[in-house]
Amino acid sequence: MKNFFPEFYRDEIDYKDVWAGALFVFDTNVLLNMYRYRSTTREQLLAVLSLLQKRIWIPHHVALEFQRNRIVVIAEQNKRYSETREIVEKSYSNLVNEFGKLQIQKRHSLIDPTDLLRNFEKLKNDFQAELENLKKEQIKIDGPDNLLEKIDLLFFGNIGAAPENLKSIEDLYKVADARYKQKIPPGFKDFDKDKDESDEYLHSGIIYKRKFGDFLIWRQILEYTKANEIKSIILITDDMKEDWWEIIKSEGNKVNGPRKELINEAKILGGIESFLMYNPEGLLKYAKQYMNIDVSDETIKEVREISSVGASPQSNPKKDELKVVNSFPSENQVIFSSQLTEAFIKFNNPIDRNTVPYIGSFYTRRNTFVQWNVNGWIQFSENDTKLIWHPSQDFINNDEFHNPNADNVDYHHFEIHIGRGPIECAVKDIYGNAIIHQVIPVYLAR
């Protein structure tokens, strides 16, 4: 029976031999989680990858997903600083307020919380100062990224080819759609990813659908191994869903390696004789065993904890819908032309910079839409949640736009437009939420 059903005989695998010659393939979430690790953990994982550099590889779609979602993870990490600061400040304020309600100093002869509050305030201030120092070391959205440079070097020449054309992708979507309906792995757990919102995006003339990402990655792996006659691969992924792993319900859920369908398909379509899968914790544990690499227990513990959170952009709860929380000029505000040397829009989420060209001002007198990023320059502030427009001097000095006196009227009406109508021209945040079209009416006065 072994000849007919080799995927059911895992005890026949020579793991030491596989580790000695296998191609190591990495999923998107493994690369993204490096931004969540502490520096010591990150460096130990990078050291393992460096030793394997001649045998590591990522599909083109993994590289694309990584580039698209890297900023999302960096933004999340930066946001943790303000969230932590807010928790500490709120805790201290609550403590002070609660003692204030008791009026202990007036109503009790012995209890005096003054020293406690003073010490708590000092502890708070010391922690906030340390937090500020740590924030300076944090990778910024628009700053240098030394981790990205290291990942670029590691995978230079080790990235799969891009899809040939849109038709080749659309053909795969048809296959994936049919497989998902029958719960054939991988990726079927993402079948409803486009239920509440569009999950499509454009890159290099090809429209991608996020819900089919796992299937594209899988097919690109099999095409690469088949073309290069690779017989052993080890796939490293932090995706622990049942559309990748065989999960047995026995006194709780137990992971029993990759799905048997994947092992079978890897052999038939990819020519792969030995197919293993690990999460990053498994990679580090077995690297110690088979590569004689020194990996600390603290590193393995942190990698395990990050994996348990399951925090990739694809699996995160949906972020709050994108909203404008403040602006200047504000809705129906009357301002003087001299005040329009700077305008801003404040959003609740970081903005996808690629959609900024769909923000501008519509001048009803001229029937003209003025793009903010063309007629001046845009400053990105507060972790890309605030866009500040600095209009060009030529534009500000143009009386046809800014001088109500030219028409012998008291004011001109114009509108700030966020998005321009169709979804293709929407303003989006880094989580994919969109403002398709919102108008802020404003008046320029004499």
- Is 32 in contact with 311 (CB distance < 8 Å)? no
Inter-axis angle of helices 260-270 and 213-228, nearest 10 = 40
- Note the pLDDT of residue 171: 95
Q: With 80 as the cut, is the pLDDT of residue 446 above it?
A: no
pLDDT band, very low/low/confident/very high, at 103 (cuts 50, 70, 90): confident
Q: How far apart are CA 353 and CA 75, in angstroms?
A: 13
Residue 231 has pLDDT above 90, yes or no: yes
pLDDT of 203 over the 70 cut: yes
Q: Residue 196 and residue 111: Cα distance in Å, rounded?
A: 56
Other beta carbons less than 10 A from residue 79's beta carbon: 14
CB atoms within 10 A of CB 153: 11
Comparing 99 with 203, which gets the higher pLDDT?
203
Find out whether 346 and 327 touch, Cβ atoms under 8 Å. yes
End-to-end CA distance of the chain: 90
Q: How far apart are CA 340 and CA 346, in angstroms?
A: 17
Q: What is the CA radius of gyration of the chain?
A: 28
**DSSP result, 222-265:** HHHHHHHT--EEEEE----STTTEEEEESSSEEEEEE-HHHHHH
* Domains in the chain: boundaries: 6-77+143-309, 324-445
Query: What distance in Å separates the CA atoms of residue 36 and residue 308, rounded to the nearest whole number?
Result: 13
Instruction: Give 331-379 pLDDT, tens digit per residue.
Output: 999 888 778 889 999 999 888 888 999 999 988 777 888 899 888 899 9
- pLDDT tens sequence across 124-143: 999 999 988 888 888 888 78
In tens, the pLDDT along 40-87 reads 999 999 999 999 999 999 999 999 999 999 988 998 888 888 888 888
Question: Rounded to the nearest 5°, which phi and psi values hold at 263?
Answer: -60, -45
pTM over 0.85: no
Fold exhibited by the domain 324-445:
Immunoglobulin-like (2.60.40)
Residue type, 110: L
Predicted local distance difference test score (pLDDT) of residue 114: 84
Nearest to 283 by CA among 56, 54, 9, 62: 56
